[in-house]
């Protein structure tokens, strides 16, 4: 069974750094792209970027380029989304999803950024 299990909710202050995770199981991790999607509470879905675990090639939507970094650790079948300096506007639920068609989704990680 394919599963994407994300790390737990986070509460951070503006300017802090953060790395959230998406642990994948039930398939060959390096064979499928993993994407990240943002959902501001009460709003729609925004595609942030995507990474191919096989060679760590990452691509970003223009709105998120330079704002976040997507990475993987193949040894533990895990993808990451990280920020070096959070803003209040980063408050949202973040989902990982397998492939560009989002055939499987993680359960989401709520990130709250507040002073």
**Residue 114 burial (C-beta neighbours within 10 Å; 0-12, 13-18, 19+):** exposed
Single residue of 31, 66, 101, 115 touching another protein by CB under 8 A: 101
Q: Is 24 in the site for another protein (CB under 8 A)?
A: no
Distance CA 22, CA 43 (A): 22
Contact 59, 35 (CB under 8 A): no
Q: Taking CB under 8 A as the rule, which mask of x and - marks residues 51-90 in contact with another protein?
A: ----------xx----------------------------
Residues that bind another protein (CB under 8 A): 35, 44-47, 50, 61-62, 95, 100-108
């Amino acid at each position: 069974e394919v599963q994407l299990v994300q790390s737990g909710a986070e509460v951070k202050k503006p300017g802090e750094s953060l790395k959230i995770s998406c642990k994948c199981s039930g398939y060959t991790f390096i064979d499928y792209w993993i994407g990240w999607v943002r959902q501001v509470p009460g709003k729609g879905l925004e595609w942030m970027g995507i990474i191919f675990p096989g060679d760590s090639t990452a691509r970003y939507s223009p709105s998120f380029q330079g704002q976040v970094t997507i990475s993987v650790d193949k040894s533990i079948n895990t993808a990451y989304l990280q920020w070096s300096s959070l803003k209040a506007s980063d408050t949202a639920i973040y989902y990982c999803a397998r492939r560009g068609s989002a055939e499987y989704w993680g359960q989401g990680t709520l990130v709250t950024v507040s002073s």
